[in-house]
Amino acid sequence: MNCDYVAFEGIDGSGKSSIIEQLSKILDENKTTNKIVREPGGTKVGEGIRELLLSHDYKVDPLTEALLFCAQRSQLVNELIKPSIQNEIKILSDRSAYSSVAYQGVGRELGYEKIYQLNDIAIGGFWPEKVVLLDIDPLVSLDRQKVADRIGSDKIEFFQNIREGYLRLSEEFSESFLVLDAEKNLEENLMKICNWLGIDKAK
């Protein structure tokens, strides 16, 4: 694999989890040590914050939400991601700081640039080297969703804006983004990801 830290992004129901699991298996077969991490969460502190963020039991103010995402992310980068990479473990991340730019910056209208900067501080500039964006129409993806958490159960316009936020990110950071049509079959997308990441799928 030609980088150490790759993130998978997309709106709720875009199918990130299945792709990540398959890719991790391929890396295992190739004897490439890898770890799947998820945001929000991935550490004990992060999993506690996840509960605050996603439970239907709390009403969370948008800025509080953005700060909680930053807090769990700071913990994750320092406690898990950086040490793993130092130990030559490849990181496959289910979401990253780019989720916050799209969801909190654009979706919640806190500001694309502002939330980018806030996250840059939280992670000390340690952004994923590569990002796979699973692009999909929210009308399709929300239908696929089994259980919706607090953020995932918002209205359709919210997800349409998030999708636009992601596409803006993919244009601004085109050199590190691979945009895929999440309605295409999984095998086809997996092949494209392997080619892009320099992973030999046939092994």
Report the sign of the C-alpha dihedral through residues 22, 23, 29, 31, in that order: negative
- Report if residue 12 touches ligand TYD, rule: CB under 6 A: yes
Output the CA–CA distances (angstroms, integers) from residue 27 to 32, 89, 121, 197, in the order listed.
Answer: 5, 11, 31, 11
What amino acid is encoded at 125 in this protein?
G
> Could you tell me if 72 and 49 are in contact, meaning their C-beta atoms sit under 8 angstroms apart?
yes
- In the complex with ligand TYD, the residue whose CB is nearer, 95 or 163, is 95
- In the complex with ligand TYD, the residue whose CB is nearer, 84 or 158, is 158
- In the complex with ligand TYD, the residue whose CB is nearer, 2 or 75, is 75
> Could you tell me if 124 and 72 are in contact, meaning their C-beta atoms sit under 8 angstroms apart?
no
What is the C-alpha separation between 62 and 5, in angstroms, rounded? 28
Stretch that binds ligand TYD, among 123-131, 146-154, 163-171, 179-187 (CB under 6 A): 146-154
- Report if residue 95 touches ligand TYD, rule: CB under 6 A: yes
Count residues binding ligand TYD (CB under 6 A).
Answer: 15
Which of 21, 51, 149, 181 forms a contact with ligand TYD (CB under 6 A)? 149
Residue whose C-alpha is closest to residue 91's, from 24, 29, 139: 24
- In the complex with ligand TYD, the residue whose CB is nearer, 21 or 200, is 21
Count the residues in the chain. 203
Residue whose C-alpha is closest to residue 36's, from 96, 97, 92, 95: 92
- Report if residue 40 touches ligand TYD, rule: CB under 6 A: yes
- Report if residue 99 touches ligand TYD, rule: CB under 6 A: yes
Name the residue with the smallest CB distance to ligand TYD: 103
**For binding to ligand TYD (CB under 6 A), which residues are involved?**
12, 17, 39-40, 54, 69, 94-95, 99-100, 103-104, 149, 151-152
